[in-house]
Amino acid sequence: MGLAAMATTARGMAATVRVLGRGELGRFTGGDRSEVARFETDLAAHVGTRHALAVNSGTSALVAALVGAGIGPGDEVLVPAYTWVSTAAAALAVGAVPVLVEVDASLTMDPVDLDARITPRSRAVLPVHMGNHVADMDPIMEVAAAHDLLVVEDACQAIGVTYRGRRVGSIGHAGCFSFNQHKNIRAGEGGALVTNDSALFDRAAMYHDVGSYERDGFTGADANLIVGVNLRMPELSAAVLRPQLATLDAQIARRRRHRGLVLEALAGRVGRDLRPIPHHDPVQAAGLAVQFGSPEAAARFGANRGVHRLIDTGRHVYTNWRSLQARNPLHPALDPYAAVDGEIDHGPDACPRTLEILARTCAIDLAPELPTPAFRLLARRIAG
């Protein structure tokens, strides 16, 4: 761990001790000292949105965003075929049905295929910024606008990354982040949604807190109340996250430096047996994956430390979303598919181009926690 990471960890530890010392562990027990409220303020300022709502997971953020937007039974939500299953599961959680969309060589939603899969029942699009690779938001937003679709950015794997001068999460109608153990900033579990839409935010806030109408400062009217659940973020999680958010830009900069080191080490192989995948904002790229001419070549490269072939991470590939394929509703009367006419394909042939791309592509961990000299040695080993 580098000195910067150690300092951030120390600040997080001090913040948790402060919370424990006060004994105010719940979201609404800290008053104006609430770590969660401060984190929401900091996050909105960082992303550049009017509102931020901290919740207990990235999945919860996606569900709350769809609830906030009024998505429900009879609606179709378009999701990429390469993402964590939560992107699709969030649609089912509100009674809507996910529709799979191919990804292109950038590992993000293909805007052309998106346009082709829209039906009269389509209501929302969930583009995903996978592994810090930004989706091509400008054409996605154009397609969505042409069909009057809501866009919720699944930026769970990309907080802090930018797309053409804008923070991911701030481009669509809402954006969602995850803070679990594998994300850019982490608290074990946690998530947040951001938005400039006050009506969407108010509904999402009511949904994330079943007792919202009892809270000081609640501004909703009874006519607009909805019944919520408990998706609140605890104070300790926010205490851990705030110092990390303050140093996030520096961490993303280290990712970019490490990306450059790997590309420098691989320079002799680019165009010969591999090529970096295209990026929709190359100057600000904070993720790296390389594509090979065959699945076999990718499998061999994927055996390197810090590298993995994407088709082998089955939990992110639609063909392994077994709970989605089972189509077992929580109750027969709550079957989302009953409200949708026709067959929606979630089978292995739904997005064949995605499978072909993933079989030939390897992601490279840019390990921002490593000091740059140590990562330079790792980059050389990866290059072979």
Secondary structure E strands in the chain:
51-55, 76-80, 97-101, 122-125, 150-154, 162-163, 166-167, 174-178, 191-195, 274-276, 289-292, 307-309, 361-364
Q: In what order do the strands lie in the sheet with 289-292?
A: 274-276, 289-292, 361-364, 307-309
Q: Cα 138 to the chain's mean position, in Å?
A: 18
Chain position carrying tokens 């039974």: 73
Distances, alpha carbon 151 to alpha carbons 125, 140, 157, 213, 254, in Å: 5, 9, 17, 28, 30
Q: Which domains, ranges and CATH numbers included, belong to the chain?
A: 3-247 (3.40.640.10), 249-315+352-383 (3.90.1150.10)
Which string of DSSP letters, residue by residue, matches 137-149? HHHHHHHHHHTT-
Distance between CA 136 and CA 173 in Å, rounded? 15
Give the pLDDT of residue 2.
Answer: 57
What is the pTM assigned to this prediction?
0.94
Residue 229 in tokens? 């659940």
Give the pLDDT of residue 223.
Answer: 72
Residue 354 in tokens? 């995605």
Give the pLDDT of residue 13.
Answer: 65
Q: What is the CA radius of gyration of the chain?
A: 21
Distance between CA 311 and CA 317 in Å, rounded? 7
Per-residue pLDDT of the chain (384 residues; tens, 9 = 90+): 555 565 566 676 676 767 666 767 677 776 668 899 999 999 999 999 999 999 999 999 999 999 999 999 999 999 999 999 999 999 999 999 999 999 999 999 999 999 999 999 999 999 999 999 999 999 999 999 999 999 999 999 999 999 999 999 999 999 999 999 999 999 999 999 999 999 999 999 999 999 988 887 776 677 789 999 999 999 999 999 999 999 999 999 999 999 999 999 999 999 999 999 999 999 999 999 999 999 999 999 999 999 999 999 888 999 999 999 999 999 999 999 988 866 799 999 999 999 999 999 999 999 999 999 999 999 999 998
Contact (CB, 8 A) for 130 and 109 = no
Give the pLDDT of residue 339.
Answer: 81
Chain position carrying tokens 């907080």: 159
